[in-house]
Structure 1
Amino acid sequence: MFTILFRTIILYLFVVISMRLMGKKQIGEMEPFELAIAIMISELASLPMQDTRVSITHGIIPIITLLSMQTLLAVLQLKSEKMRLVFSGKPSILINKGKLDLKKLKDDKFNINNLMEELRMQGYYNLSDIEYAILETSGQLSVIPKTELSPATKQDLKIKPPQEGLPVTLILDGKINFKNLITANKDENWLNQMMKKNSISSVKDVLVAVLDSKGKFYCQLKEKNE
């Protein structure tokens, strides 16, 4: 029993590290070869977990091999356009200048119902509203609506708002994050003043305090029954 537990922990950690080294892509954003490698790694790891007669190295060595192949392919794709086309393919324009390309739909095994569903999920309900629809190599659909239907931006309305920054967490669960305070160009005295302004007597009473993207101080206190 302890042998199985030990092997499972080792293989789990090894697979997590391997997937972490592959990058921060979600499953739906993986290229076909990346998804194939991810599936193979999970299968290889499961065999030594289920059968103690299989050496743990018989799972680890193939995983290292696949990870090395994935790294090599990623480097080759960075350096060569041809390699990118071979392993990742190229995007397909399913709607071009407002017209459906039936040949591209057929080649990509993507029927009109699938296309309409993807469009609805992105907030578009009429084919006549779309200028371009591009099926990316990851399987995601990029949609470019007709110009007159594009959302108006602040620049279009000639509004010049100040540039927003990143929100910074200053207090989390009653503890001050001093590193984030320095990042936000604030100090503990400023934080104490903001707490006093918001009638907060102790840092321990704060669930979360954030300096938001507009530079405003926001905080939420802990519930009394916590």
Structure 2
Amino acid sequence: MEYFRIVLDLFFGLFGLLIITKILGKTQITQITAFDFVSALVLGELVGNAAFDDKIGIFQIIFSILVWGILIYLIELVTQKVRVTRALLEGKPTIVIHKGKIIREHLRKNKLDINQLQHLLRSKGIFSIREAEYAILETDGSISVLKKSLYEPPTRQDYQMESRLVRLPITLVSDGELILENLKESGFTEPWLMEEIRKHGVNSYKELLIAEWREDEGLHVQRL
């Protein structure tokens, strides 16, 4: 009976956390600021501690998650409406490289050393500090970099070439399953898709790992 209660508590706790996370938005799982990290940690602790305390029931777990979720939601509203609170609760971006020069004071304030800075730059494909004109340490701990013009790849504009329309690829089949909403959104039908995949020697969706359509290149398929 005790094990059943733990399973039940965890089940309702999990779905409660998923609902709260959906309501609060994707910043709870991406772009983690210090405030987001603390809020996610507390939510997890509420469920974890409650699951193994036989004096706490399902309703207490749901109530705790609901109260904490409301508090976080209200704070998020405050940061949206009152600009001055954002720096306190979410932090603010910091320039760590300015006109090609590392600002040591800003590194020190953010507890960042040169090796960590180099690691962040390499994650952006920059293997030499001399390539960076500006670098900004974001509130989630990632870095945004503007390269020096010498190291920027040439663009179509540089070559005075005509611009091309950028087209988004659409996944029509994934892991052997037809994605019907994508098919309808792209204006195609199942008979059309079957005809197209047969041209690639495939007789069923279940044989495909992926089928992707792009207007300028047609259908790309890969078998399982």
* TM-score, L = length of structure 2: 0.86
Give the direction of change, closer, same or farther, for the CA distance of 1:172–1:63 in structure 2 (3 Å limit). closer
Any unmatched runs of 5+ in structure 2? Answer: none
Deviations 1:30-72, CA, capped at 9 Å, x for gaps: 1211111100111111111112123444433332222112111
User: In the TM superposition, what is the alpha-carbon distance from 1:172 to its structure 2 partner?
Assistant: 4.2
Q: How does 1:17-96 map to 2 (within 5 A)?
A: 17-25=19-27, 27=29, 29-96=31-98
One-letter amino acid of the structure 2 residue matched with residue 50 of structure 1: F
In structure 2, how many angstroms separate the alpha carbons of the residues matched to 1:195 and 1:133?
Answer: 46
SS at match of 1:25: helix
Contact in 2 for aligned 1:28/1:140 (Cα 8 Å) = no
108, 128, 134: which is aligned to 1:126?
A: 128
Q: How does 1:1-226 map to 2 (within 5 A)?
A: 1-25=3-27, 27=29, 29-160=31-162, 162-172=164-174, 175-212=177-214, 214-222=216-224
Give the direction of change, closer, same or farther, for the CA distance of 1:111–1:27 in structure 2 (3 Å limit). farther
Deviations 1:190-226, CA, capped at 9 Å, x for gaps: 324323433334455444322136441122334xxxx
Contact in 1 for aligned 2:12/2:62 (Cα 8 Å) = no
Provide the aligned C-alpha RMSD in A.
2.4
Any unmatched runs of 5+ in structure 1? Answer: none
What is the number of residues matched between the two proteins?
A: 222
SS at match of 2:173: strand
User: In the TM superposition, what is the alpha-carbon distance from 1:161 to its structure 2 partner?
Assistant: 5.4
Q: Matched residues, percent identical?
A: 30
Give the direction of change, closer, same or farther, for the CA distance of 1:8–1:201 in structure 2 (3 Å limit). closer
Deviations 1:116-161, CA, capped at 9 Å, x for gaps: 2211222222222211111111111111111111122233233335
Contact in 1 for aligned 2:210/2:222 (Cα 8 Å) = yes
In structure 1, how many angstroms separate the alpha carbons of the residues matched to 2:118 and 2:105?
Answer: 17
In structure 2, how many angstroms separate the alpha carbons of the residues matched to 1:77 and 1:32?
Answer: 14
